[in-house]
Structure 1
C-alpha cells in the first residue's frame, strides 16, 4: 500500500508544476525560428478569419462589371483599390481570400475535433482492454486505411448534400484512424507503468484509470498529431471544393477560388495563384508549428 502511494505521489508531482512547464515551452518557442514563424502565420490567419468584416476592404461577393478581371496593383492596368486584382465578376480577390480563411480554418479545426473524438475513444478501448476488442477495432482501422481519403470523401459527398457540416463530418470520419493507431500504441505502453498497476491493485475502476492516468499522458501526442492533421485537412477541403463536391457557392473558400480561376489561367493568372499561395502559406505555418510541438512535447524526440 505504501509503495502504491509513493508511485501515485511521484506521478502527481510530475504533472503538478504546469506554470514552469509553460514558461519552458514559451522559451523553446522563442528560440525556434520555424516554430515562431509557424505560430505567427497561424495567428495572422486566425485574426484575418475572425475579424474579416473589419479587415476586408470590400464585400467579397460584391459584383462590379466595371472592374472585371482587373490585374494586381503592381501590373499595368492595376489599381490600389484592388491590391490583388479582381475576378471574372469584378469581386475583390484580397477580400475573398480573407473571408476564405474562415472556411478553411473552420473545416480544418472541427474535422480534427471529430476525428480526434472518434479516434482517441477507439484507441483507448483497443489499447487498454486488448483481446477481441483490440482485434475488431484494429481490423476496422485497417479497412479504412485501405481506402484513399479523397476517394472516400468523393463517394460520400456525391451521395449527401455538399456543405460545411457534411464536409466536416466526412473528413473527420476519414481521419480518425490516425488517432486510433497512435493512441492504441501509447496506451499499450502506459498501462504497463507502475502507477497504473498500483491503481489497479488499489481497486481503482478502469474508467477512472483511463481518465486520470492514461489520457493525460497521451494528450501531448494527440495535440501534435492534431496540429499536423489540420494542415492536411485544409488541403483536402480545398481539393474537394476545387472538384465541386466541397463548399458550395456563394460560400467562399480557397478551393472554390482555385476552381473558378482555372478557366482564366492563360490571361488572368492571379485568380488562382493568390488563393493557392494562401493555402501554401497556411499549411506551411501549421506544419512548422506542429513540428515544433512534436519536438517539445513528444517524449521520443
Structure 2
C-alpha cells in the first residue's frame, strides 16, 4: 500500500479517536432511553407488593420465588433492579415533560418580548426578577406540597422557574435579529409580525434552545429526585430514584446497595446530560460567533 493511501486512513483514525469520547454521552443517554422504554415491558414490578422474606438481600442473591435479585432488595423485599428501571422511566418522563412545557412558555415569551420591546419586555424583566428572588427548589417544594401528589403537579412545580432560562436566551437572539437587514426588509414589505417571528426569528433560536434544554433536563431530573427524596410530589405508587435512595439511607452500613446503586444511575444520567449540554453549547456558540 502506498504512503499516499496510508495517510488519509491515519488521519481518519485520529479523527475518530478524538471524536469517540464526545460520543459517550449520546450512547449513555440512548441506553437510558432504551431502558426506560423497554425495561418495564420486560421486568414486572409491583411497588405495593412487599415480600418480607426477601428483605435486604445482597446483589446476586436468590429470591424465594426462584429468581435472582441482581441488584439486591430493599428493607421491604422489593427488587432494586426493577426500581432502577422504573425510576428511569419516571425521571425521563418528568424531565421531558417539564423541559417541553418550560421551552414552549419561555421561547414564546422571550421571542415576543425581545422582538416587540417596550412595555412587554419590561414586564418580562420584572417577572423574572421576582421569580429569581426565590430559590427554584423552594418554590417547587411549596407548590408540590400545596396540591395533591401527582406527576402533573411535579411538572408544574418544576416548570415555574425553568422557563426563565429559555426566555432569556431567546430574548437575546430576538434582540439581535430584529435589527438585521432581512427583518427590516420584511417589515418594509408589510409582512405580518407573526410571520416575521415564525420565519425569520424562531429558526435561529433552535440551536441555543436545544443546547439549553439538555442542561435544563439534567437540573429537572435532579430536582425531581430531590422532591421524591423528601417524600413530596409523586404519588405512593410511582417509582422514583429519589424515593429509593431515601428508603435506603438508614441501611447504608448494612445494605449499601439500596441507596448507592440508584444514586449511581442518577449521577451517570446527570453527568452525561451535562457533558452533552456543554458540547452543544460550545458548538452553537462557535456558529453564532462565526456568523
| TM-based fold match above 0.5 | yes
* Number of corresponding residues: 269
CA RMSD of aligned residues (A): 2.0
SS in 1 for 2:222: helix
SS in 2 for 1:85: coil
Q: 2:45 aligns with which of 39, 51, 59?
A: 59
Query: Which residue in 2 is equivalent to 1:202?
Result: 189
Which runs of no fewer than 5 residues in structure 2 stay unpaired? Answer: 1-14
Query: Which residue in 1 is equivalent to 2:221?
Result: 234
SS in 1 for 2:248: helix
- CA offsets, 1:56-79, max 9 Å, x none? 3x52534322211001239xxxx9
Q: 1:124 aligns with which of 104, 108, 111?
A: 111
**Against the structure 1 CA distance between its residues 167 and 206, is the aligned structure 2 distance closer, same or farther, given a 3 Å change threshold?**
same
**Against the structure 1 CA distance between its residues 239 and 29, is the aligned structure 2 distance closer, same or farther, given a 3 Å change threshold?**
farther
Q: 1:163 aligns with which of 143, 147, 150?
A: 150
Alpha-carbon distance, 1:154 to partner:
1.0
Give distance in 1, aligned partners of 2:275 and 2:202.
26
Q: 1:179 aligns with which of 146, 166, 187?
A: 166
**Against the structure 1 CA distance between its residues 34 and 231, is the aligned structure 2 distance closer, same or farther, given a 3 Å change threshold?**
farther
Query: Which residue in 2 is equivalent to 1:105?
Result: 92
- CA offsets, 1:144-190, max 9 Å, x none? 11110111011111111121111011111220111111111111001
8 A contact 2:141–2:157 mirrored in 1? no
TM-score by length of 2: 0.87
Q: 1:291 aligns with which of 278, 281, 290?
A: 278
TM-score by length of 1: 0.84
Give distance in 1, aligned partners of 2:46 and 2:58.
17
Please list every run of at least 4 consecutive aligned residues from structure 1 whose deviation after the TM superposition is greater than 6 angstroms.
none
8 A contact 1:119–1:177 mirrored in 2? yes
The correspondence of residues 39-118 of structure 1 with structure 2, limited to 5 A, is 39-56=26-43, 58-61=44-47, 62-73=49-60, 81-118=68-105
